[in-house]
Structure 1
């Protein structure tokens, strides 16, 4: 782009200085445009330079230092609010500025007064400087420990729900989960975190592409561990939600309590690798309001009553379909072509209630009824085919005639 900046009207210079940062064709003239705007000495151009810095905050731009230095200079040369704001909030320091706003956002009762005091109002509230401050708030929340970890995490969720701009997804996930790699949050807060991230970004097993992009945005080296932590929470959440839903609607609470105790023992022992549940049409209606949309599958077709539900588990090499009503629990080897995959959105009733698999018993299929001593039979089968012991029933007591 070759032209004489001196031929531009003040209006055109103001427009160019404010908007060139998003157009790579203007990279070569950016320093000259900034110098011309400063040299003009007009209050309207000074305001343009300040707002361009805060709106675009183009830290990767080749002329960023020119813009930052110009914004700091024009802010100081006038008796106007930007002079004091720049001093109070370190606005012209690209590291300290976002950090000072971030700390205030994490400790204040509301984001609006903080942003207003820093001059980040109207369109600047949605600008890149504000977004950088929220990214920094995520980093600060990720450093928190003990009780402050929950306090900052809850504040971060509130900020994201109310702020006019959002941090990057990877930064937010990092800020919310990083404190819990070495300690476990209280169950109620774990549920809040899980529900928030599930609603915002989907299940890591279902939206794997999106979560790979989120991992790529995370700082540090622990991204995969953080996503694994959340996935583990969601597995536990799925099992507990399934039992809560069925427990609220069952006609045989005593029988259901025994099944719940059996499977939750594996859960508490971190022996369950995947968990997902599916509802028949009537069961889905009964469960509304108790589970999040999209966090379960549907059972369709013949072979299963519409009022029934199924819990689909993976324990080592064993894939399991436990049912909400009387009947046999099904066990497959996970490589069996007839084994149900977790995280499907739809299941057909007949395969889920199969009485044989693509493989025989020795290779990992059985349909075991809930009859006397079923807990030891289940534990025996699972140990035989996965190597994992039940915390209470151990290896069970294997007898071929059981199957």
Structure 2
């Protein structure tokens, strides 16, 4: 058995590999290098350094805390303690970077010891937070030390520093974020070049800072013309969800806010771009009407905007389904009326309820997803129902010759939006009377050409919801 600890054996192998890598290629004999094969078998590949076990690190923290309690000690620490110290500089309690004199000692050893330097760079990106003590200064030191080093295993850090100034704690994450969003290389290629293709680095604190910077940079890019905006969005999505899984699932709320921030309180997005953002968010967060807990951290304004998008999708889907399943020559008047409500931003929420023949078609409509309920108890399997929330009212619009009904949302018999199934009887219970309408059981769609039913519906919406529509608003275009 060797008298050397395994860690020192590995370090010797890594140093040998670095030295061999610095030799000219012509130095090697033709054919496969037996030394290279041996190194590969011994595990001296390009794997990033990993921290020791937690128990080892906590014992190290206790030793260094005692040793540096009054500042730099008279006797220097063990080199192996300084080698492993980077892993506790900015993590654990207390962070060892606060021990007086420890960080300068680590930097001094890193200047002449490759393993310490590699550990320091790895811990810096893993625990990155510019507010932590000594982290900014350490980044500047890392940039200098890595530039001066001939260790080939630091090549990705050298390239990242040259490409985006990675170790600039203030500006590095933003520069990398801008590179990811603007190119010219593919997102995966940039991350590979900068060393962040490794799974551990891909979800470290530096990448979290990059994600936050990217989301802050994204809104003006999404307000560009559709072509450049679409490119920026797809690059953002490639970074946010590599292999269709969120890089930081715990950040899904802020991520949703960043993706829609371009349109908060402003102009409506391009329809195709809106649909791409909506599809991405529904895939990774679920429908806010069905999984509101996933959207809490996004904020009320964001949820309100996305619910408005979904209401539009439900309404547009309803129109298409009517075209397929209901031969109603007056339907274009109903479409015009509810589109006017949508254009005024009055429809806070919408939910489809579909007969068994209709929901088979709905499943093929991407914008709707699974956001609809199934209708039972109806004699016609082609029936579809649109439930809407407008201010304090719930309204129920039927396809075919069904009547329009309305209830105060706080009435016990008012239908709830977002249910998976509805019986017909739930959707035809008596609601509010419509002004000037003789029917107590809901409003029939008579007199579409003259605006008869539209006028009565508009009066109810004005009285109960404060929504004011004119005949010009509801006329088909």
- Unaligned regions of 5+ residues in structure 2, if any? 1-60, 68-75
Q: Return the alpha-carbon distance in structure 2 between the equivalents of residues 100 and 395 of structure 1.
A: 50
Residue number among 333, 348, 371 corresponding to 1:295 in the alignment: 371
Q: How many residue pairs align between the two structures?
A: 382
Moved more, 42-51 or 152-161: 152-161
Q: Give, in whole Å, the separation in 1 of the partners of 2:328 and 2:311.
A: 23
* Contact 1:242–1:277 (CA under 8 A) maintained in structure 2: yes
Alignment partner, residue 59 of structure 1? 130
The question of 1:336 aligning with 2:336 is answered: no
Q: CA 1:89 to 1:188, structure 2 compared with 1: closer, same or farther past 3 Å?
A: closer
**Does 1:156 pair with 2:236?**
yes
Q: Distance in 1 between matches of 2:162 and 2:433?
A: 75
The partner residue of 1:311 within 366, 381, 386 is: 386
Please report the TM-score for the alignment, with normalisation by the length of structure 2: 0.69
Inter-partner Cα distance in structure 1 for 2:106 and 2:291: 47
User: Measured at CA, do residues 102 and 373 of structure 1 come closer, stay the same or move farther in structure 2, by a change above 3 Å?
Assistant: closer
Q: Confirm whether residue 286 of structure 1 aligns to residue 361 of structure 2.
A: yes
Q: Is the 8 A contact 1:89 1:97 kept in 2?
A: yes
1:219-238 equivalences under 5 Å are 224-238=300-314
Distance in 2 between residues matched to 1:155 and 1:310, nearest whole Å: 38
CA contact (8 A) 2:385 2:398 kept: yes
Does the 8 Å CA contact 1:89/1:100 hold for their aligned counterparts?
Answer: yes
* 1:133 equivalenced with 2:210 (yes/no): yes
- TM-score (structure 1 length as normaliser): 0.80
| Contact 2:375/2:424 (8 A) holds in 1 | yes
CA gap of 1:335–1:27, structure 2 versus 1, over 3 A, is same
| Structure 2 residue aligned with 1:322 | 397
Q: What residue ranges of structure 1 are gaps of 5+ in the alignment?
A: 216-223, 397-403
Q: Are 1:203 and 2:287 matched, yes or no?
A: yes
Within the alignment, does 1:190 sit opposite 2:274 as a pair? yes
**Once structures 1 and 2 are overlaid, which stretch shifts more, 266-275 or 106-115?**
266-275
Corresponding position: 1:17 with 2:86: yes
Residue aligned with 2:297, SS: helix
* Deviation for aligned residue 1:332: 2.0
- Give the Å deviation of 1:380: 0.9
Distance 1:47 1:382, change over 3 A: same
Give the alignment partner of residue 262 of structure 2, picking from 168, 175, 179.
Answer: 179
Residues 65, 161 of structure 1: alpha-carbon distance in 2 compared, 3 angstrom cutoff: closer
Distance 2:357 2:102 in 1: 67
How far apart are the structure 2 equivalents of 1:31 and 1:187?
58
Q: Compared with structure 1, are the counterparts of its residues 95 and 391 closer, same or farther at alpha carbon in structure 2 (3 Å cutoff)?
A: farther
Q: Judging changes above 3 Å, is the alpha-carbon distance between structure 1 residues 258 and 378 closer, same or farther for their aligned structure 2 residues? A: closer
| CA deviation map 1:311-330 (0-9, x unaligned) | 00133443211112333222
Kindly report the root-mean-square deviation, in angstroms, between the aligned alpha carbons of the 2 structures.
3.4
Residue 142 (structure 2) aligns with: 71
SS of the aligned residue for 1:59 comes to coil
Q: Aligned partners of 2:394, 2:356: CA distance in 1, in Å? A: 23
1:100 CA drift (Å): 1.4
| Superposition deviation, residue 252 in structure 1 | 0.9
C-alpha distance in 2 between matches for 1:165 and 1:247: 38
Instruction: Report the counterpart of residue 168 of structure 2 in structure 1.
Output: 93
The separation in 1 between residues aligned to 2:91 and 2:355, in whole angstroms, is 51
Residue 374 of structure 2 corresponds to residue 274 of structure 1: no
1:48 Cα deviation from its structure 2 partner: 0.6
Q: Is this contact kept in 2: 1:34–1:70, CA < 8 A?
A: no
Structure (1 or 2) with the larger CA radius of gyration: 2
- Alpha-carbon separation, structure 2, partners of 1:92 and 1:311: 55
Q: 1: CA distance between counterparts of 2:187 and 2:159?
A: 20
Q: Secondary structure at the match of 2:63?
A: coil
CA spacing shift, 1:228–1:105, aligned 2, 3 Å: same
- Kindly tell me: are residues 293 and 72 of structure 1, through their superposed partners in 2, closer, same or farther at Cα, counting changes over 3 Å? same
The superposition leaves residues 336-368 of structure 1 with CA deviations (integer Å, 9 ceiling, x where unpaired) of 3211122333333211122x24x6668x97412
In the other structure, the counterpart of 2:107 is: 38
